[in-house]
A and B are shown apart, each in its own frame.
Chain A
Amino acid sequence: MDMFNAIVQVLDSTIRLSVPLLLACLAGLYSERAGIFDIGLEGKMLVGAFAGASAAAVFHSALIGLGTAILISVAFALVHGFASITHRGNQIVSGVAINFIAAGSTIILGQAWFQQGGRTPALQPGERFEAIIWPGAEAIRDVPIIGPIYAELISGHSILVYFAFAMVPFTWWVLFRTRFGLRMRAVGENPAAVDTAGISVAWLRYRALICTGILTGVAGAYLSMVQNGGFVKDMTAGKGYIALAALIFAKWKPVNAMFACLLFGFLDAASIRLQGSPLPLVGKVPAQFMQALPYVLTVILLAGFIGKAIPPRAGGVPYVKER
C-alpha cells in the first residue's frame, strides 16, 4: 500500500509539473504549425509569470492577474510577429531577443516596483488560484485504490490545470476540424498556396501567434500564481525549452504533446522523488542524468532513431510575396 501511495504521489506531482510544459508546448504548436519558429516560449512564459503575479498582488485579484499575464504575453508574441512576419527578420534571432528582454526586464522592473530582490510580494489567498476539491473527494479518500486516485490525482488541482488538459482536445479540434486550423496548417506547409487562395498569410500567422501568446501567458500565470505564490526571478528555468523539446517529441500533434509533456513531467517528478535513493536493477541514478534525459531523448528523436520528426515545411522561412 505504501508503494501504491508513493506512486500516486509521484503521478500527482507529474501532473503539476507537466502543466506549464503542456501549456507552453501547445502554445508553440500554434505558432510552429503556422510556420513561425518560436524559441521565445521561455521568455513569454517568464513575462506572463511576472505580469500575473504583479497584477494579482497589486489589484488583489487572481483573475486580473491572469488577464494581465495573457495581455503582456500576447504583446511579446506580437513583437515576435512584427519582427518575423512584417519585417521578415530571422525568427530564431527574434526569439532569442525576446528571451533576453524578458529575463532582464522582469528582474529590473520587479526590483524597482517591489524592492524584494526581483521577487513580487507573496500572494495572499484570493490572489492566487486555489485548488478545486471535487464533490465526494474527502468521503472516498479512504477507499483503497480508487480513493487516492480520485482524491489526489483527479480532484484537488487549480482551475488552470483542468484548463491545460482541456486545451488538448480543444487544440486538436481547432487544428483538424475548423477552417482556421486547416488554413493555419496550410500556411505552415505552403504559404504561397494560401496566398493564392486569397487569404492573408500575415494575418493568419499573427492570429496563430496571438494564440501562442495567450497560452504562454496562462503557463506563466500557472507558474507564479498556482505553483509558487509569487514571482521569483528566472522561475521558468528552461521550461520553455523543454516545452520546445516536447513539441518536437510530439511531432507537432496535440495529443502526442500531452503525452510528451507528461513524460517529461514524470522524469522531473521522479528525479525529485528519488533524490539519490537507489532504483531497482539500475542502482543509483544521478539527479543530473534525470534532468538531462528530456534533452537527450529529444536529440535522439531528432536524429531519427525513434521515428522521424518532420517539422512544418515552411517553418522558419519568412514569406515573401512574388514580385
Chain B
Amino acid sequence: MSTPYAKLPAWADYGLIPLINLSVAFIVAGFVVMLVGENPFRAAVILVEGAFGRGTGIAFTLFYATTFIFTGLSVAVAAHCSLFNIGTEGQAYIGGLGIALVCLSLDSVMPWWVIFPIAIVAAAAFGALWGLIPAYLQAKRGSHIVITTIMFNFIAASVMVYLLVGALKPAGSQAPQTRNFLAGAELPKLNWVIELFGAKIRSAPLNICFLLALVMAFLVWLLIWRTRLGYEMRTYGHSPKAARYAGISETRIIITAMMISGALAGMMALNPVMGDQHNVAIDFVSGAGYVGIAVALMGRLHPVGIVLAAILFGMLYQGGAELAFEMPAISRDMIVIIQGLVILFAGALEHMFRPYIQALFASVSPKSVGMQAVKGTGA
C-alpha cells in the first residue's frame, strides 16, 4: 500500500501513530460503555484484571491469542502481496476438516506426538487448498479476491454444515459435531509454564499450539524480510507493474502468497480443535478469522506487532468474558464493537491523524520528517 504522505521517524510511524489510533478506538468504545449506563474506567479495570489478574486468566488470554496469531499472520502474508484475504474464516473452517479426518482415523492407534505433525500438515494443506481456488481465479481470470474469498467463506460454511450433520456425525448423535477425539489427538497443555511463576491454574486450554504460533510468527518474518520469495511478494504488493518488469510471475506470486496465507489460517484450527474442544463442531472458528484482520492491521503486518496485537485481543476476549459476569449490560459482543473500531481507526482511518502529527514534528524539528520528501512519492 503506497502512502501519499511524507515520512516520519520510524518510532512515530510504528509506535506513536498506531498507539494514537488504538487509543481513539478505545475512547469511542468507552463512549459505547457509557451509553449502556456503565462506567468505562471500571469496565477497563475489570477487563484487565480478568485477563491478567490470575493464572487461569493469563492462560486463557494466551489461548485466545494463539488463535489470533495464526489468523493475523494469515491476513498479513496476503496483505504484503496486496491481497486482501477475507477468507481466513473459511480457510480455518476447512482446515478443521483436515484435522478431523486425521484425528478421527488415527487417534486410536497413535500417540499425540505422531498425530500432531500429520494434523499440522493436513490443516495447512486443507486451508491452503481453500485459498488456492480464489487465488487461481484472481491470477488467471481476474476475479476480485475479496469477493471470491467472501463467497468461499459461505461455501465453506455450507460444506462443513453438510458434513457435520451428515458424514462426520457419529450415528445416533443429535449434536452437529464429530465424535470426541481419543487421548491420541489431545495436545499437551502448557499451563505448567505459568504455574512455574507461582500462579495457580484450575483448568485452561492453553496448549503447545502457542509455541507453534510463535514459531510460525518467526518463520513469517523470515519469509517476508529474509527470503527471495518474500521480497518478490513485497515487490508485487508495492507495485505489480514493477514486479512484472522484474520478471516476477504474477500468477505464481499470487497463488503462493494465498496458499501460505490459507495454510496459516488452516493451522489456526489446531488450537481450538485439538487443544481444547477435542472435536470439530459447527462454527468452531466463530469469527476468529475476522479478528485476524484487526490483528494484522493493528500489528502493522509485522509478526512482532501481530503477536502483541493478538495478545491484546486475547486479553479482550478473556477479560470480556469476566466483564460480562460483573456488568450484565455488557456482553462479550462488546469485543465485536472494539474489534470494529480498531479496524476502522487502525485500518481505514490510519492516516487521519498523520497530517497533524507531521505538522507537529515539522514545527519541532524539520529534519526529522525529511523535508525534501514532502513532494510526494508518485505512484
Contact = CB atoms under 8 A, between A and B. Distances in A.
B102 interface: no
Nearest to B341: A101
Contacts of A291: 154, 158
Contact of B348 (A94, A112, A244, A289): A94
A87 B341 contact: no
A37 B334 CA distance: 27
B130 interface: no
B339 A88 contact: no
Interface stretch (A50-58, A153-161, A220-228, A298-306): A298-306
Interface residues of A, number: 50
A245 B151 contact: yes
B365 to A, nearest CB: 24
Interface centre among B151, B158, B290, B335 (most CB of A within 10 A): B151
Nearest to B161: A288
B348 A84 contact: yes
Interface string B283-320: 00000001001100100000000000000000000000
A9 B339 CA distance: 42
Task: Name, among B154, B294, B330, the residue most crowded by chain A CB atoms within 10 Å (CB to CB).
Answer: B154
Nearest to A94: B348
Interface string A283-307: 0001011011001101100111000
Interface in A73-126: 79, 82-84, 87-94, 96-105, 107-109, 111-112
Contacts of A288: 158-159, 161-162
Contacts of A286: 162, 166
A209 B348 CA distance: 16
Contacts of A83: 344, 348-349
A298 B147 contact: yes
A108 B376 contact: no
Contacts of A90: 1, 84, 347-348
A312 to B, nearest CB: 12
A323 B147 contact: no
Q: Which of A87, A98, A101 has the most CB of B within 10 A?
A: A101
A11 interface: no
Question: Of A37, A39, A94, A97, which is in contact with the most chain B CB atoms at under 10 Å from its CB?
Answer: A97
A309 B142 CA distance: 10
A241 B339 CA distance: 20
Contacts of A309: 143
* Size class of the B contact interface (CB-based, 8 Å): 35 or more
Q: Which of B137, B158, B159, B348 has the most A CB atoms < 10 Å from its CB?
A: B348
Contact of B151 (A37, A79, A88, A298): A298
A147 interface: no
B154 A238 contact: yes
Contacts of B348: 83-84, 87, 89-91, 93-94, 97
Interface in B252-283: none
A105 B4 contact: no
A248 interface: yes
Contact of A296 (B155, B329, B334): B155
A320 interface: yes
Nearest to A106: B333
B141 A292 contact: no
B147 A302 contact: yes
A100 B162 contact: no
B344 A94 contact: yes
Contacts of A295: 151-152, 154-155, 158
A241 B174 CA distance: 30
Interface string A211-251: 00000000000000000000000000010010011001000
A292 B338 CA distance: 31
Given A89-B347, A107-B333, A112-B36, A311 B144 contact: yes
Given A87-B352, A112-B329, A97 B340 contact: yes
A96 B342 CA distance: 11
B331 A108 contact: yes
Nearest to A86: B352
A102 B333 CA distance: 11
Given A303-B141, A303-B143, A97 B344 contact: yes
Given A101-B341, A288-B159, A244 B4 contact: no
A173 B143 CA distance: 29
B137 to A, nearest CB: 5
Contacts of B159: 288, 292
A303 B136 CA distance: 10
Contact of A97 (B143, B334, B343): B343
B4 A299 contact: no
20 contacts: A91-B348, A93-B84, A93-B347, A94-B344, A96-B347, A97-B344, A99-B340, A100-B340, A101-B341, A103-B336, A104-B339, A104-B340, A108-B32, A108-B36, A108-B329, A248-B147, A291-B154, A292-B154, A292-B158, A298-B147
Interface of B: 1, 4, 32, 35-37, 84, 86, 137, 141-144, 146-148, 150-152, 154-155, 158-159, 161-162, 166, 290, 293-294, 297, 329-331, 333-341, 343-344, 347-352, 376
Given A83-B348, A288-B159, A303-B143, 12 more contacts: A39-B86, A88-B351, A97-B340, A97-B341, A98-B344, A100-B336, A100-B340, A102-B340, A104-B339, A108-B330, A112-B37, A286-B162
